[in-house]
Structure 1
Amino acid sequence: MNFDLNAVWSRGMKLVGDNFQLLIIIAGIFLLLPTTAAYLLLPDFQAFADPTADPKIVAERFRELIVPLIGMGGALALFQFAGYGTMIALIGPDRPTVAQALGTGLKIAPSTLVIVILFIVTYLVGAIVIMLPISILSGLAGVPIVALIGFIPVLLFVVWLMARLSMSMPVLVLGGTLNPLTAIKASFRLTRQKQWQIMLFWTVLMIAITVISMLFNLAAGLFAALLSKGTAALLIAGLANGLTGMASGMIICGVAAAMFEQLAGQSPEGLAATFE
């Protein structure tokens, strides 16, 4: 397999650049607007928007809002999954119309949610399997630091799992399947040979995106907190989070589509082999 991560990045950025006008509209609708709306509509969201807030107060409010948070989070996730799917469809080789891309994005959203749920379950089971013997060893040895060190393999496991599943959405969108289990199997097949390179690539990219987003959101949050405690502050914080979500979403979709191109190829034979 001829796999070049530099080419993946370059190709991903070219896909984003060539389709920027369409992508920014889709990202604005599916990522910016719902994020901003969540800040404005969820009651007492000011505590979450203010980085200077007392952690105890934030934790207490979170417990009180857990039910609406789960409900809104699920709806928001489905909506944003549709946006990601639409963007990948738009920059894919089939060159669909906007209406066709939107239809694809909406169709793959439930399958993507199933994959995310399966990822969470697998992560929890894997974390228990990894941590249980380490915790027992730590208790027998009387050295608590051993248990803390045990989080390192858990972290490596979850990053590895994310990397192996990273082609699931491109498979759903570009591979012509809506079966989440088929998409997972295909993603594992595609990433098998270059899994460690892919894992390192996604790790570096996500760290960079996270750091930049945190700094931008922190600055916006501090400004919003100083400005007021009302709607204006929530609007600023929501827009800041939405803008970083837009930018990161476009980058991730471009890179994912480019990586799928390299791993699966664009010939009918290459795509067919993905599902064998």
Structure 2
Amino acid sequence: MRTPKLLAALLSGALTLSGMAPLPAAAASTEVTTRYAVSLMGLSVGQATFTTSVDGNAYSVSGNLSSAGLANLFSPTSGTSSSSGRIRNGRLEADRYRLNYTSDGKKWSSDIRMRRGTVRQATIAPKLRKDLPKDYVPVTKGQLASVVDPLAGLVFRAPVDPAKVCNRTVSFFDGWSRLDLKLSPAGTEPFRASGWTGNTAVCDVRVVPVGGYRKGSSGLRYIQSQTIRIWFARLGDTDLVAPVKVRIPTKVGTLMLTAASIADA
């Protein structure tokens, strides 16, 4: 993959991952804004801002990402993403998830409607080709139950033992692909951002493709052989945890997403 296309792919992935914004306490009506820095090999390639709102048991997350620095020179990328629904059993359960992004003048979009973790309708643009490659593995109807959207799918109720944050498998669907993230404990580490200081639960994450992918994809084989790392923080007096830092290995270097500030709106 040429560098411009690779940078565009990394930034579109960052739009999904950086949207895992910290969630305020479910019992109150409140709003939190989180700003992320996105870097590749230590160089700035993007920035994102996400706002999470909670009113009783209803939530909404909306945000945007734009390329910067080196990525802007090669492949200007921008996008928006949103998720809305209810808070049930200590996690976010989406009714609707939307993603729109543009890179090099080309546009992609996903609009998913869900009910109790089951996908009812998914619309993507551009649509899948009719002449899909022979090694393409489609998403089946059975794989669209008990799933979460990528934007709010990594927000959990904080367990008493921080290590238990990582003892789980998360089933994602973004409109194109179904994949599982298998989390395992990797210790604890301190973390500091403007507006927040404390300890984080660190999880190692392995990617397992389920549907909507090519078996022969070299990019997929690479990410399956790597370990993503996510830092989860318990925020203030809330009983929920969410990612504040993500490290993703890539063929051209390490992609980092780091919360720079966390503030009440």
TM over 0.5: no
Please indicate the TM-score interval, normalised by the length of the shorter structure.
under 0.3
Q: Which one has the largest radius of gyration?
A: 1
Q: TM-score of the superposition, structure 2-length normalised?
A: 0.28
Answer 1 or 2: which has greater helix percent. 1
Answer 1 or 2: which has greater strand percent. 2
Greater relative CO, 1 or 2 (CA 8 Å, sep 6+): 1
